[in-house]
Structure formats: C-alpha cells, structure tokens
Amino acid sequence: MIQLNSFAKINLCLYVLRKREDGFHDVCTVMQAVDLHDRLSLYKIPEGIVVQADDPELSADRRNLAYKASEIFLKENHISSGVKIGIQKRIPLSSGLGGGSSNAAFTLIGLNSLFKTNLSRKRLMHMAERIGSDVPFFLSSGQAVATGRGEKIREVKLPLDYWIVLIKPHVRLSTPWIYENLKIDLTKKKKSIRIYKKRKSFFDSMVAWENELESTAVKKYPQIKELRRKLEKIGAIKTSMSGSGPTVYGIFDKPRYKEVKGLRASEWQIWVTRPIPLLVL
C-alpha cells in the first residue's frame, strides 16, 4: 500500500490565446503548487480499478481522472492485477484548484512506486498529457509556465516567501461552460509573460497579471468580484480567481490570521496556504 499527498495549485495568471481546431483553447498560464492537499491511498488488488472517496459527489468511474490515470498506467505497463484508490478530499470539486488533475498525477507517481516500474518522469508525462490539460503540471517542480492547452510545461524558479488565502464560494463552475461562454479577443497570437526571480520584481509583475476567464465567471457569479474586494480590504497584494474558478485567492506578505478569521462565513470555505515546490522525479 502507498499513501501520498495530492497538492492543489493556483493560477498566478491565465491568458487565452486562441481557439484550436480540436475544440480546446491555447492558453498561457503561470501555475504555482500550494500546500492544500488531498490524501491518496493506493492498494494492489487482484484485478480491476476501484475508487473510493469520502466525498459522495466524486465520480468513481472513468470520469474520475485518478481512475483514468490507473487505466492508462496498468495497460501501458501490461499489469494484469488491479488497484484500489482511496481519496480523502480536501481540495473542493470544480474549484479551479486542480484537484482532479492533481489526483491523476499523484496516482501515476504512486502506481510507479507501488508496482516498482521505475518509469522516468518523461514516460509519466506522456501518460499525463493523455489524461487532462493540467495533469502534467503536477509532475513538475510545482512552479511552471504552461502553454498549449496547459500540457506544455516550462519550469521556472519563483519566490516562495508569501502566504495565500483561498476563498471558495459554495458554487461550482464547469470548465467547459467557462470556455463555451468566453467572449474575449482571441486574435492574439502569443502572450509574453516576464518572470522575475527577485521578490520585489516578482510581486510588481504579478500584480499586473490577469485571469482572462474571470470576466466570464463573474457574469454568472458576481460574488467572485466581491470576494476579491474583501481580500483587498484586509491587505492582499494581489487578488484573482484561480483557473476556471470560482475559488478566489489573495497574496499576502504575512499570514494575517486575525484578519482572515474575520472573513469566515457560512457562504464560503476559506484556507490559509503557502506556495510549495513539488518533488521532481
């Protein structure tokens, strides 16, 4: 049996460049892993794939990306036995924090250890690309610029000495719905994002970065904008929606636990997290 943490991510920015012939969109995004995580337990079983989660709303079939990751891994490695996957959820569903993609990536890592296949990161990356757009990111160092539909990863080195407050309203946003309703200028051919390693320069550039999916999300859920205002009011250096939302985050140079305590309400979930590196295989 193997147990491991499956970490969340935030998008420090997200730009949509164009619609592709395959129906997806080309994007350019800077992603950062954070220490909010699910807990995975992987067990060998005689045959098949079984997913058991403590969240009854989480799919346990091929719609579950950890299931899909297991299916691809077992088939590609000609493994006749099966696997049972236990998932303790802390990353909320449909939140823009990459929970499903993370579960898939860390399932690949766990299976590689469980079955002693010793696959390289490159091999695991090829599998990850077939599972979903954000999955390859979670096999990276945890700091990356992602392009294409999100599967092309370029690792970067960014400061880690700050705090992140996550607030998720009790609503869900479907990524396909966001892109179907997206109305922005898609004539841009590319987007250049300058990455600074020094803390002050990094913070200055990060403040100007945007998430171009947010304007579409706000039309359906205006509370996203209100949550950003609340975070700004308690001193956030930067606020934004993460990914396809609806989770909003604030970047702080101090933890601000007292101020965050004043934000707690029944209308949303809230976490104080830190940016983290991920283990590079």
Q: What is the CATH number of the domain that holds 238?
A: 3.30.70.890
- State which of 114, 134, 155 marks the end of a domain: 155
Beta-carbon contacts of 193 under 8 Å, excluding residues fewer than 6 positions away, are 13, 15, 28, 30, 145, 209
81 and 101 belong to one structural domain: yes
Give the residues across from 50 on adjacent strands: 84
The answer to which of 44-58, 188-202, 229-243 has the lowest mean pLDDT is: 188-202
pLDDT of 255 reads: 85
Question: Looking at the domain assignment, is residue 19 inside a domain?
Answer: yes
DSSP state of 136: G
pLDDT of 246 reads: 95
Within 10 Å of residue 100's Cβ, how many Cβ atoms? 26
Residue 173, pLDDT above cutoff 70? yes
- Higher-pLDDT residue of 254 and 42 is 42
The answer to which of 71-75, 124-128, 189-193 has the lowest mean pLDDT is: 189-193
200 confidence band (pLDDT: 50, 70, 90)? confident
22 and 131 belong to one structural domain: yes
177 and 151 belong to one structural domain: no
The overall average pLDDT reported for the chain is 92
Residue 186, pLDDT above cutoff 90? no
Residue 98, pLDDT above cutoff 80? yes
Distances (CA, A) of 6 to 1, 170, 199: 16, 22, 27
127 and 174 belong to one structural domain: no
204 and 147 belong to one structural domain: no
Residue pLDDT, tens place only, 17-50: 888 888 788 999 999 999 999 999 999 999 999 9
150 and 27 belong to one structural domain: yes
7 and 82 belong to one structural domain: yes
DSSP state of 92: P
CA proximity to 180, closest of 142, 220, 144, 222: 220
- State which of 155, 183, 215 marks the end of a domain: 155
Question: Looking at the domain assignment, is residue 47 inside a domain?
Answer: yes
36 and 131 belong to one structural domain: yes
Question: Looking at the domain assignment, is residue 280 inside a domain?
Answer: no
Identify the domain containing residue 174 by its residue range.
163-273
The answer to which of 13-22, 159-168, 198-207 has the lowest mean pLDDT is: 198-207
- Burial pattern 12-26, b for ≥16 Cβ within 10 A else e, equals bbbbbbeeeeeeebb
CATH number at residue 100: 3.30.230.10
Residue 92, pLDDT above cutoff 90? yes
Residue pLDDT, tens place only, 261-278: 888 878 899 999 999 999
Within 10 Å of residue 61's Cβ, how many Cβ atoms? 9
Question: Looking at the domain assignment, is residue 263 inside a domain?
Answer: yes
Query: Average pLDDT of 136-143?
Result: 96
197 and 135 belong to one structural domain: no
Residue 280, pLDDT above cutoff 70? no
- State which of 90, 123, 155 marks the end of a domain: 155
Query: Average pLDDT of 71-96?
Result: 96
Instruction: Give the total number of structural domains in the chain.
Output: 2
CA proximity to 211, closest of 174, 249, 173, 180: 249
71 confidence band (pLDDT: 50, 70, 90)? very high
Residue 187, pLDDT above cutoff 60? no
Active-site residues, by number, are: 9, 134
Question: Looking at the domain assignment, is residue 118 inside a domain?
Answer: yes
Residue 192, pLDDT above cutoff 70? no
- Higher-pLDDT residue of 206 and 256 is 206
Question: Looking at the domain assignment, is residue 281 inside a domain?
Answer: no
171 and 245 belong to one structural domain: yes
Question: Looking at the domain assignment, is residue 279 inside a domain?
Answer: no
204 and 123 belong to one structural domain: no
Question: Looking at the domain assignment, is residue 278 inside a domain?
Answer: no
Query: Average pLDDT of 247-263?
Result: 89
**With a threshold of 0.85, does the pTM exceed it?**
yes
Query: Average pLDDT of 147-168?
Result: 93
CA proximity to 140, closest of 1, 3, 7: 7
100 and 193 belong to one structural domain: no
DSSP H or E segment with residue 51: strand 49-53
Residue pLDDT, tens place only, 52-61: 999 999 999 9
